[in-house]
Amino acid sequence: MTELVPGFLWGASTAPHQVEGNNLNSDFWAREHLAPGLELSGDACDSYHRYAEDMRLLADAGLTAYRFGIEWARIEPAPGEISRAELAHYRRMIETARDLGLEPVVTLHHFTNPNWFAQEGGWTSDRAIERFQTYVQAVTGILDGVKWVCTMNEPNMLAVMVTMGRQYSADSGDAKKWMSPTVDGAARPVIPDPDPEVGRRLGEAHHAVRDILKKHTDAAVGWTVACPALTATPGNEEKLKEVRYVREDLYLDAALGDDFIGVQVYSSQAVDENGVVPHPLGPDTTLTGTAYRPDGIGTSVRHVWERTGGVPVLITENGIATADDEQRIRYTTEALGHLFAAIDDGVDVRGYLHWSALDNYEWGHWGPTFGLIAVDRETFERQPKPSLAWLGEVARCGHL
């Protein structure tokens, strides 16, 4: 039987914009209202008010961790203007999680920026890092007792979004063309590669706030990377290295010196002489259009472990967009099998956080459901799915 490290985290993840609702001051909110191809986030799951109920469901099921985010657009609604009431809100979330026996894994940036930051030029403005530092410095005041902090979620996907933002800016009149980065971009090769210059800038931002967090908190600090589990078709090993550098390795290299690396993986994709091969359609194709590949997690953690030279891994996201909860349990069973095999082979994995706790707003679409818990969009009533009880049971036993 696979031996897990003591205190191995078993949990689920969410992101503020996807569950809280009414994130009015953020750039994604603005974008949703410009692009006719995107559905609106609106009240989302109203987790801004109902977070205690969400956490209780996870804890009651047997999970021991909850990854959630702090929304910069709420903490700093205007440059330099820090909201004490919003800081207190997120402090209450941290305390609620701890009171329920859930280890909070706190993400400081999950795709969304304050709209003023985006208008100032966003991540490519000269002031970007200084702005991010001001926000993170303010947040350190509420992180007492928090053991896990993720500075940024999927900087590689964020870099894609920055590139899309340049292409579809309101100035160019093309803001209508915005697509969902995770849904419309997953299956079809329509989203651009992340610009390495942007990626390097995000790496600098990560290091700048890592220093602040290490100085003012006791938390383990890392960032979470979208790991596409790329593999080469015969003869295309060199092409794989090239593609993987731009999409993944640049971001893994920036994790050197971190306390952990968050691995986020959903599928797996081949690389041939022309680059990434679009996901093949199959009977198990997920609701975001990705291939059903629960083995991706094994490919990813092994690659991350090798590339970083042994930075401890926390699975911060893994899951499947499906309306069929049995398929979710099947996928996750297989994924955990691959994860356990990597642990058996010596990869240091500190926990598994499933994406997602709730059916939520998937960056422009409500269709793809990733949740362990269904949410009625009118009453906000939560309905735990069998997969929640199942994962809680795995957490209790520590094996499949």
Where does this chain bind ligand FCB (CB under 6 A)? Answer: 15, 18, 153-154, 157, 182, 226, 264, 317, 355, 362-363, 370
In terms of CB distance, is 212 or 388 closer to ligand FCB? Answer: 388
In terms of CB distance, is 48 or 355 closer to ligand FCB? Answer: 355
What are the Cα distances from residue 325, in Å, to 53, 78, 178, 370? Answer: 21, 42, 30, 9
Min dist CB 8 to ligand FCB, Å, is 22
Min dist CB 18 to ligand FCB, Å, is 6
SS3 call for 230: strand
In terms of CB distance, is 19 or 138 closer to ligand FCB? Answer: 19
Min dist CB 318 to ligand FCB, Å, is 10
In terms of CB distance, is 27 or 362 closer to ligand FCB? Answer: 362
Min dist CB 238 to ligand FCB, Å, is 27
Q: Say if CB 195 and CB 163 are below 8 A apart.
A: yes
In terms of CB distance, is 182 or 268 closer to ligand FCB? Answer: 182
Running DSSP on this structure, what letter comes out for residue 126? T
Q: Which residue has the tokens 């969902």?
A: 180
The DSSP bridge partners found for residue 276 are 271
Min dist CB 110 to ligand FCB, Å, is 6
What are the Cα distances from residue 385, in Å, to 45, 49, 53, 208, 324? Answer: 16, 21, 15, 41, 10
In terms of CB distance, is 94 or 160 closer to ligand FCB? Answer: 160
Q: By Cβ distance, which residue is nearest to ligand FCB?
A: 182
Min dist CB 243 to ligand FCB, Å, is 18
What are the Cα distances from residue 256, in Å, to 146, 260, 268, 372? Answer: 22, 9, 24, 33
Min dist CB 364 to ligand FCB, Å, is 10
Per the structure block, which two tokens stand in for 80?
């330099």
Min dist CB 80 to ligand FCB, Å, is 28
The number of C-alpha atoms within 13 Å of 292 and in the hemisphere containing its C-beta is: 17
Dihedral pair phi/psi, residue 32, rounded to 5°: -55, -35
In terms of CB distance, is 112 or 236 closer to ligand FCB? Answer: 112
Amino acid (one-letter) located at 107: T
In terms of CB distance, is 231 or 318 closer to ligand FCB? Answer: 318
Listing DSSP states for 19-52 in one string gives HS---TTBHHHHHHHH-TTS---TTTT-HHHHHH
Largest CA distance in the chain: 58
In terms of CB distance, is 140 or 322 closer to ligand FCB? Answer: 322
243-279 as b/e: b if 16+ CB within 10 A: bbbbbbbbbbebbeebbbbbbbbbbbbbbeeeebeeb
Min dist CB 270 to ligand FCB, Å, is 20
